[in-house]
């Protein structure tokens, strides 16, 4: 099966490499053409625009920064819709606004093009080792048809519901992660301000109800002041913005999400946007005049 892959960034490149390793023939496109070089060396065919990908492939995966880029690649000048044959499917694995997923899907449907939204969780490390978690929306028929393709990049692929549901699940995931990181930051700050060793507090609580994947992944980073990005603050801001947009469209109140969004914006203004989202602790350190870093 020949697969089109558009978007070879920090996530898209390792994902596409895993498809090549799994035996799929790829046609790849990235706005910065040099990012396609490694894939071409592995045997992929380079395309010069999304329309050229659609001329050659009836299955096209997109992995792009946000809603405007997905709309442009699908519907813009030299986009997929201009050359795709009826029956083509776009599997958008970007994390975007679910309202926009539905709108783009409706426009593609007018040209006989199907769409699935299949955003991922796991960050660059899991993109590299092929163990991403995929949350898929669209028709169940298409989910079943392309399940094996998605599993070539993932450790888990779950069907969530109709188009847009995948991005709803991803935004729910990002809301939980963001609020959890903020809670860990608050807790470690409280511990240090009251004279406790944050490492011992962490060890004491991780086996109880407060224990979580986020606690185990991010508390050690906070105490080491290791903010090398697994997932950057600026990207989490994008996801929380999409969550709040979707919430506003459905009159849903997200007060905790709104508060964490403001904390992230403050950190971005302090130059921390490119850092890992565990750097949320810097906000609490600043306002409490304390450091959770272990000496």
Set 170, 218, 238, 282: catalytic member: 170
User: Given the structure tokens 């906070």, which residue do they identify?
Assistant: 222
- Residue 80 vs residues 44, 114, 211, 230: alpha-carbon distances, Å: 19, 12, 45, 31
3-state secondary structure of 292: coil
Query: Do residues 20 and 1 touch, judged by C-beta distance below 8 A?
Result: no
How many degrees, rounded to 5, is the angle at CA 244 between CA 107 and CA 235? 85
Is residue 115 within 8 Å of residue 105, measured between CB atoms?
A: yes
Q: How far is CA 261 from CA 90, 220, 225, 233, in A?
A: 31, 23, 21, 10
Identify the helix (H) or strand (E) that includes residue 134.
Answer: strand 132-137
**170 is an active site residue:** yes
Q: Say how far apart CA 13 and CA 122 lie, in whole Å.
A: 15
Which of the residues are catalytic? Answer: 170
């Amino acid at each position: 099966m020949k697969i089109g892959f558009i978007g070879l960034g920090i996530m898209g490149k390792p994902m596409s490499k895993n498809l090549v390793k799994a035996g799929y023939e790829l046609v790849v496109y990235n706005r910065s053409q040099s990012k396609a070089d490694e894939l071409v060396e592995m045997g992929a065919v380079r395309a010069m625009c999304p329309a050229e990908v659609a001329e050659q492939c009836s299955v096209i995966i997109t992995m792009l920064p946000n809603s405007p880029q997905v709309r442009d690649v699908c519907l813009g000048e030299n986009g997929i819709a201009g050359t795709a044959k009826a029956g083509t499917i776009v599997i958008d694995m970007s994390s975007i606004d679910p309202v926009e997923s539905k709108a783009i899907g409706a426009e593609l449907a007018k040209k006989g093009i199907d769409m699935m939204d299949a955003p991922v969780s796991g960050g660059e490390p899991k993109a590299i080792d092929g163990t991403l978690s995929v949350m898929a929306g669209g028709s169940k028929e298409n989910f079943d048809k392309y399940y094996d393709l998605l599993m070539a990049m993932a450790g888990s692929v779950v069907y969530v519901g109709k188009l847009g549901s995948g991005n709803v699940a991803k935004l729910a995931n990002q809301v939980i992660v963001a609020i959890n990181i903020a809670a860990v930051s608050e807790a470690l700050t409280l511990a240090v301000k009251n004279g406790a060793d944050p490492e011992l507090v962490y060890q004491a609580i991780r086996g109880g109800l407060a224990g979580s994947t986020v606690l185990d992944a991010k508390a050690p980073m906070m105490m080491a002041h290791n903010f090398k990005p697994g997932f950057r603050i600026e990207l989490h801001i994008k996801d929380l913005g999409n969550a709040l947009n979707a919430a506003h469209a459905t009159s849903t109140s997200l007060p905790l999400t709104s508060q964490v969004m403001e904390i992230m914006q403050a950190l971005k203004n302090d130059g921390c946007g490119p850092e890992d989202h565990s750097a949320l602790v810097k906000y609490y350190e600043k306002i409490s005049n304390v450091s959770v870093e272990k000496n």
